[in-house]
Chains A and B, each alone.
Chain A
Amino acid sequence: AQSVAQPEDQVNVAEGNPLTVKCTYSVSGNPYLFWYVQYPNRGLQFLLKYITGDNLVKGSYGFEAEFNKSQTSFHLKKPSALVSDSALYFCAVRGFYNQGGKLIFGQGTELSVKP
């Protein structure tokens, strides 16, 4: 069965410090991996994706994520956090054999960046 785990419900970071939001996955075959961000009372915004190729993927707003096949992880990172990065972050996976483009989402991680 396909699944995604975000082990931390909340991550707290000081502004200017690096941030990491963790994600691990379980899927048959090669995974397609995604990160989304949600601001209060808004829909989800796409940040970045891994399909194939370079394990380090760069996305919107200075975020990047590293695909690690051996650890089945796809952690989201940013070198220097901003207060405006405070939001809810979702990791999602789609299996290679998936029909219809369905994604499996993690539970979400609340990121709080303090000044």
Chain B
Amino acid sequence: DVKVTQSSRYLVKRTGEKVFLECVQDMDHENMFWYRQDPGLGLRLIYFSYDVKMKEKGDIPEGYSVSREKKERFSLILESASTNQTSMYLCASSSPAEDSIEQFFGPGTRLTVL
């Protein structure tokens, strides 16, 4: 089974702090994704990556950056956390193969910015 792990389940940070959210997958997937989930808004794509060192902006990239130095690891960075970034953050990975393109999700990190 695909396993996607995220570094923290719950995180509390202060406004202005730099925050790192880490995601690791063990299925050699090329594609990796970061979403945030807010009530009534569903999942919104922040950034995605289809290869090492490659990244593309999603729908809401403002205030975030990402890093993908190794195939299995995709990091989300909040350069200066703000209260409006309090949310559930979900990482996912997928294969580009047509018969197995579904995304597999990690357990999520619930981030609170005070």
Contact = CB atoms under 8 A, between A and B. Distances in A.
Interface stretch (B11-19, B62-70, B74-82, B104-112): B104-112
A97 B98 CA distance: 12
Nearest to A49: B102
Given A41-B110, A51-B98, A103 B103 contact: yes
Interface stretch (A20-28, A65-73, A76-84, A105-113): A105-113
Interface residues of A, number: 22
A88 to B, nearest CB: 10
A90 B35 CA distance: 14
A46 B42 contact: no
A29 interface: no
A30 to B, nearest CB: 11
B99 A51 contact: yes
Contacts of B24: none
A43 B105 contact: yes
A45 interface: yes
B110 A102 contact: no
Given A34-B102, A51-B99, A90 B45 contact: no
Interface string A12-37: 00000000000000000000101010
A43 B94 contact: no
Interface in A42-100: 42-46, 49, 51, 90, 94, 99-100
A100 B41 contact: no
B28 interface: no
A43 B35 CA distance: 11
Given A90-B42, A101-B31, A44 B105 contact: yes
B99 A105 contact: no
B69 to A, nearest CB: 18
10 contacts: A43-B90, A43-B108, A44-B90, A51-B98, A51-B99, A51-B101, A90-B42, A101-B96, A107-B42, A108-B42
